[in-house]
Amino acid sequence: MSANPNLNIVPFVSVDHMMRLVLRIGVETFLTELAAVIEEDFARWEQFDKTPRVASHSDEGVIELMPTSDGTLYGFKYVNGHPKNTKEGRQTVTAFGVLSDVGNGYPMLLSEMTILTALRTAAMSAVAARHLARSNSRVMAIIGNGAQSEFQALAFNAIVGVTDLRLYDIDPSATQRCAANLLGTGLSVKICGSSQEAVEGADIITTVTADKQSATILSDNMVGPGVHINAVGGDCPGKTELHKDILLRSEIFVEYPPQTRIEGEIQQLDADYPVNELWEVIAGRREGRASERSITLFDSVGFAIEDFSALRYVRSKLKETGLYAELDLLADPDEPRDLYGMLLRCKAQIAA
């Protein structure tokens, strides 16, 4: 139907392809290489189009589009967040993404991003911690042991050097599953009976709960000097995990302030409360942690540039691995203005 059959073919990375890609590369290597691509893109932050994600909220959850472009490539992610889904045997978060050529508008990649989002979120957390946590940080508490927890643990081990893990979830079966999944990784894992027990002696505290509500996962008295907080769970209006007093004591670092003020922990603060942009630290524009006793907080909500980096990284691996399908996605007639003619030629073929 097309003068050039390759023009309408788009590489498609399915869930199965993504799992095989991650396993072929190795989870730790995948996370480490992805972290490097994220750092590359954050270091050229000013080249990107930036906008808060376009969100459609309901009582049940949220559906969002996250677009960005560096002027050469355009990327977006479709993602949902529905905490009730687990009760129905579904994922809380699912996603897919597209990477396109700005010059002609044609998609260059369509990929699953449910698994990829967990990997990029973990890589982003570890990148932030590498720049903000104390350099000798080895013990991390993870409060909330859902679908993100193992990825976070492995990223912090591979990228930051965390060796000891302390786990707590209000659902003990989630903690047991996470601990079992991490057997053989070299991490020392302790199952804790409370969030207070989990944070005792921790250098880094990761909060990654799913419920879309304002909750106090960390109270002020649980956070001592020198701690780095990786607040991953705050990701929509009305959902927070940290007591406000913790924010007032912390050096706060965010991805994109206009989005984080809507969805992150800092929605608890005045709209003009000063925060730091992480890209400036990664690009060497400013220092991260002020002192060994400072409390640093990465108020992470996820931003489109991270997804752009993840798609860019995956696309770079396709030629060498062949882990993709060819998707006939784009109508491309012999004569660009004769789209209807494609239907007529298809009709003729069917009749024949």
* DSSP calls for 313-352: HHHHHHHHH---EEEE-----SSTT-HHHHHHHHHHHHH-
Q: How many CB atoms lie within 10 A of CB 32?
A: 16
**Parallel, antiparallel, or unpaired: how do β-strands 214-218 and 188-191 relate?**
unpaired
> For this structure, is 235 an active site residue?
yes
Tokens for 335, please give them. Answer: 């004569």
Q: Contact, 154 vs 185, CB < 8 A? A: yes
SS3 102: coil
> In sequence order, which residues have a C-beta less than 8 Å from that of residue 186 and are 6 or more positions away?
157, 163
264: left (phi over 0), alpha (psi -120 to 50) or beta: beta
The helix (run of H) or strand (run of E) holding residue 57 is strand 54-57
Catalytic residue among 169, 203, 235, 299: 235
Closest CA to 298 of 242, 349, 342: 242
> In sequence order, which residues have a C-beta less than 8 Å from that of residue 6 and are 6 or more positions away?
none
Tokens for 162, please give them. Answer: 């965390």
CA 338, 342, 344, 348 dihedral sign is positive
Q: How far apart are CA 311 and CA 116, in angstroms?
A: 9
List residues with catalytic annotation. Answer: 235
